[in-house]
């Protein structure tokens, strides 16, 4: 036995050397020699042999697929380890599609079926397709780009890819307006037009309008112009010759479809390392995992068939492994449940993809009704919180704009009107955004606050959500006050002050506005009044001002102020005197004495025909007397008033030294009068 074992090893080494030199060696012969050596499954020789067999089997099945035998081919493919050979499958599809573009619809249907069970294959397919499109466009390889865009179109039709990819490719190609680019765009639009008309009618209309501009301005040659005219004819006939899905190839249920969102400008990884063989230290464990997945897809009968399809020499060991798998099937049920839970668990990557899909859906739509229609079709990550996640993403998209757009407010209106769960989601989202206002930058803070102002002004979100707002010094921050400022200003713009007043005073809303307009404490009342007055909404504070004036503390404070004023008035009257006379004289009693008097001379009579005659005399005398009397008992002045007193005395002395002022009157020729018409 040892000699036979040694001879088998030498024979195997000779066959491997022949194969590495390029000589064809039948796989059956290699398997026979390996069976004689009794090589374990964990050995590298065995894994290499299985890898080659897997590659040839997948490539052969892909090359044989057609519309008539696709169901049989799919079953045979799932019997193979597609999880390990997903790169082989993707490469085989891409090569076969470029070789025979007329079979693109069949290849897309095959990918859709496999993607519904193993989504990693669909994601890898889209990544390599987009990278292939980029490389072909740079090399100006028209045939490769044409085949790639055709496959992208059919993957969009079968819901493997999101329609945003087709729109991005169309927009990119139509920017250059060259003959080849427009021709490829026409082919892509012809294949995907039926799907775009159904899912993105506005965006489809924009693309067709661009085609019309290219046709009218004559940017391309006659042949491409004819292709554009044929495209418009297809549009008028609703693409009846190019349906999105053929009935015989519609093999995936709508709830089983898995749509991937991969953008044209995303950073993609082709995972080129998956195309080559790599040693797997956990080979048997990974094979068991795929066998469980295969059992879920095909059932136990196909697993039994697969167990006998490996090597003939290992039939006994395989039957033993089959019996072991049957005996362990019950113990592995719990593991299956755990695997399923891991697949459906919400992760950061899934959340990021979901948010990206919502964002691109909003950006690619032409109206708010279209946005709402598409958002409701998206598959939610969490059924219990799908409304909140949608509302949160709409608010986040609004915050990323340079200025507030009413487009997002209209989207929010339509979502809030869908039902009570959506209204509750809006309220919860508002409370979270207001509570975290300090985390937002200036521009997002303004956009988000105006978005919520529109929602409250349109009455699509209940004002009960404002119960969390308390305008006090302790309960507000600077960011929160800015948030409220823009929100109330937006409400005033859309409602007007009169409607806002009516709305605030409604009986069933007042309990929810206690923190804003009806606080109980006096300090909170003053703070709220000052806040709304500062943002030019003082008209909303009339009730608060009346309440503040009627508070017992305010009444006592007013009375105390009146008593203090009366006492200060009596004290001032006892220490100062001011007397009026017919000559308008005033007397102030200060510490020093100084006087100043001025009496203008009477005006001379003016006798002239047609002129007024009369006499008028005015006499003004001002007397400022400052004398210290021993009985005044006035307190000394503080230092800051002493400086003012000294300055006033200096001013009085200067006025006494100055000459009398001249009196310029309209009538009168006396001294100091100036009249250019007076006769000399």
**Residue pLDDT, tens place only, 355-402:** 888 888 898 888 888 889 888 888 887 788 889 999 999 999 999 999
What's the average model confidence in pLDDT over 149-162?
Answer: 93
pLDDT score recorded for residue 321: 41
In the predicted model, what is the mean pLDDT of the chain?
Answer: 76
Q: Per the domain annotation, does 112 fall within a domain?
A: no
Phi, psi (deg, nearest 5) at residue 260: -105, 140
What's the average model confidence in pLDDT over 15-43?
Answer: 70
Buried b (16+ CB within 10 A) or exposed e, 444-479: bbbbbbbbbbbbbbbebbbbebbbebbbeeeebeeb
pLDDT score recorded for residue 475: 87
Q: Per the domain annotation, does 114 fall within a domain?
A: no
Are 399 and 541 found together in one domain?
yes
Last residue of a domain, one of 502, 517, 549: 549
Last residue of a domain, one of 530, 549, 568: 549
pLDDT tens digits for range 224-254: 999 999 999 999 888 988 898 988 888 888 8
pLDDT score recorded for residue 654: 52
pLDDT score recorded for residue 365: 84
Q: Per the domain annotation, does 290 fall within a domain?
A: no
275, 138 Cβ separation under 8 angstroms: no
User: Would you place residue 34 in the very low, low, confident or very high pLDDT band (cuts 50, 70, 90)?
Assistant: low
pLDDT, greater one: 17 or 663: 17
Q: Per the domain annotation, does 74 fall within a domain?
A: no
Instruction: With a cut of 80, say whether residue 344 has pLDDT above it.
Output: no
Q: Per the domain annotation, does 341 fall within a domain?
A: no
Are 517 and 374 found together in one domain?
yes
Quick one: tokens of 234?
A: 């297809």
pLDDT score recorded for residue 307: 45
C-alpha 471/C-alpha 462 separation (Å) is 19
pLDDT score recorded for residue 346: 46
Q: Per the domain annotation, does 442 fall within a domain?
A: yes
pLDDT score recorded for residue 130: 94
Q: Per the domain annotation, does 660 fall within a domain?
A: no
Q: Look up tokens 């799907």; give the residue.
A: 195
pLDDT score recorded for residue 6: 64
Instruction: With a cut of 70, say whether residue 107 has pLDDT above it.
Output: yes
Q: Per the domain annotation, does 543 fall within a domain?
A: yes
Which residues are CB-contacts of 224 (< 8 A; sequence separation ≥ 6)?
A: 179, 182, 183, 186
Are 404 and 494 found together in one domain?
yes
Task: Give the number of domains in the chain.
Answer: 2
What's the average model confidence in pLDDT over 409-420?
Answer: 91
pLDDT score recorded for residue 217: 86
pLDDT score recorded for residue 294: 86
Give the domain range for residue 525.
Answer: 348-549
pLDDT score recorded for residue 5: 57
pLDDT score recorded for residue 633: 43
Are 358 and 274 found together in one domain?
no
pLDDT tens digits for range 280-329: 788 888 888 888 888 888 875 454 444 444 444 343 434 344 444 444 44
pLDDT score recorded for residue 639: 54
Of 154-168, 347-361, 663-677, the range with the lowest mean pLDDT is 663-677
Alpha-helical runs (H) found in 470-625: 478-495, 497-504, 522-534, 542-549, 552-575
Last residue of a domain, one of 221, 248, 279: 279
Instruction: With a cut of 80, say whether residue 615 has pLDDT above it.
Output: no
CATH code for the domain of 387: 1.25.40
Phi, psi (deg, nearest 5) at residue 99: -70, -35
Instruction: With a cut of 70, say whether residue 39 has pLDDT above it.
Output: no
Long-range contacts of 606-613 (CB under 8 A, 24+ apart): 606/667, 606/668, 606/669, 611/667, 612/667
SS3 260: strand
166, 133 Cβ separation under 8 angstroms: no
What's the average model confidence in pLDDT over 138-156?
Answer: 93
pLDDT score recorded for residue 36: 65
Quick one: tokens of 639?
A: 């230092």
What's the average model confidence in pLDDT over 402-422?
Answer: 91
Are 254 and 357 found together in one domain?
no
pLDDT, greater one: 297 or 565: 297
Hey, which of 107-111, 199-203, 277-281, 332-336 has the most confident mean pLDDT? 107-111
Are 248 and 367 found together in one domain?
no
Question: What angle (nearest 5°) sits at the alpha carbon of residue 384, between those of residues 383 and 387?
Answer: 85
446, 405 Cβ separation under 8 angstroms: no
DSSP state of 161: B
Tell me how far apart the terminal alpha carbons of the chain are, to the nearest angstrom: 160
């Amino acid at each position: 036995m040892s000699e036979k074992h040694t001879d088998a090893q030498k024979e195997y080494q000779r066959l491997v050397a022949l194969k590495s030199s390029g000589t064809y060696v039948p796989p059956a012969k290699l398997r026979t020699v390996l069976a004689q050596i009794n090589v374990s499954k964990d050995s590298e020789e065995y894994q290499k042999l299985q890898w080659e067999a897997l590659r040839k089997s997948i490539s052969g099945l892909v090359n044989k697929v057609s519309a008539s035998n696709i169901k049989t081919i799919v079953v045979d493919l799932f019997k193979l380890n597609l999880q390990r050979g997903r790169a082989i499958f993707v490469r085989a599809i891409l090569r076969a599609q470029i070789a025979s573009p007329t079979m693109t619809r069949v290849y897309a249907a095959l990918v859709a079926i496999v993607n519904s069970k193993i989504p990693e294959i669909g994601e890898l397919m889209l990544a390599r397709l987009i990278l292939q499109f980029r490389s072909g466009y740079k090399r100006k390889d028209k045939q490769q780009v044409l085949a790639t865009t055709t496959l992208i179109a059919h993957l969009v039709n079968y819901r493997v890819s999101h329609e945003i990819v087709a729109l991005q490719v169309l927009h990119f190609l139509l920017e250059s307006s060259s003959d080849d680019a427009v021709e490829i765009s026409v082919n892509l639009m012809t294949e995907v037009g039926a799907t775009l008309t159904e899912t993105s009618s506005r965006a489809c209309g924009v693309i067709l309008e661009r085609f019309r501009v290219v046709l009218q301005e004559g940017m391309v040659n006659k042949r491409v112009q004819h292709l554009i005219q044929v495209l418009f004819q297809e549009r008028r006939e609703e693409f009846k010759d190019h349906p999105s899905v053929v009935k015989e190839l519609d093999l995936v249920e709508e709830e089983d479809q898995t749509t991937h969102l991969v953008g044209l400008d995303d950073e993609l990884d082709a995972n080129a390392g998956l195309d080559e063989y790599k040693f797997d230290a956990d080979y048997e464990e990974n094979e068991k995992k795929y066998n469980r997945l295969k059992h879920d897809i095909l059932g136990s009968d196909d697993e039994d068939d697969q167990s006998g399809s490996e090597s003939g020499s290992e039939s006994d060991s395989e039957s033993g492994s089959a019996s072991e798998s049957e005996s362990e099937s019950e113990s592995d049920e719990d593991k299956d449940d755990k695997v399923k839970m891991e697949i459906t668990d919400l992760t950061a990557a899934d959340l990021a993809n979901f948010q990206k899909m919502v964002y691109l859906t909003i950006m690619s739509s032409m109206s708010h009704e279209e946005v709402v229609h598409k958002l409701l079709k998206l598959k939610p990550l969490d059924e219990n919180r799908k409304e909140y996640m949608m509302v949160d993403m709409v608010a986040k998209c609004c915050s990323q704009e340079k200025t507030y757009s009413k487009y997002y407010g209209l989207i929010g209106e339509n979502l809030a009107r869908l039902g009570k769960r959506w209204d509750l989601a809006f309220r919860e989202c508002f409370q979270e955004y207001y509570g975290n206002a300090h985390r937002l930058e200036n521009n997002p803070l303004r956009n988000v606050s105006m978005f919520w102002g529109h929602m409250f002004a349109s009455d699509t979100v209940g004002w009960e959500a404002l119960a969390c707002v308390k305008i006090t010094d302790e309960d507000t921050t600077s960011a929160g006050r800015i948030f409220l400022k823009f929100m109330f200003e937006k409400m005033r713009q859309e409602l007007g002050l009169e409607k806002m007043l009516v709305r605030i005073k409604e009986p069933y809303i007042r309990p929810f506005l206690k923190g804003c307009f009806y606080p109980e404490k006096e300090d909170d009342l003053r703070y709220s009044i000052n806040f709304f007055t500062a943002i030019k909404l003082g008209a909303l504070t009339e009730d608060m001002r009346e309440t503040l004036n009627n508070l017992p503390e305010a009444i006592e404070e007013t009375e105390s102020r009146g008593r203090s004023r009366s006492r200060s008035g009596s004290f001032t009257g006892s220490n100062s005197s001011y007397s009026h006379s017919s000559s308008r004289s005033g007397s102030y009693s200060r510490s020093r004495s100084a006087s100043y008097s001025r009496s203008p001379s009477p005006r001379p009579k003016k006798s002239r025909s047609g002129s007024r005659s009369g006499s008028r005399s005015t006499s003004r005398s001002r007397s400022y007397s400052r004398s210290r009397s021993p009985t005044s008992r006035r307190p000394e002045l503080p230092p800051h008033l002493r400086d003012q007193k000294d300055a006033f005395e200096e001013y009085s002395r200067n006025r006494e030294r100055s000459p009398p002022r001249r009196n310029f009157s309209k009538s009168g020729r006396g001294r100091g009068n100036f009249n250019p018409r007076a006769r000399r």
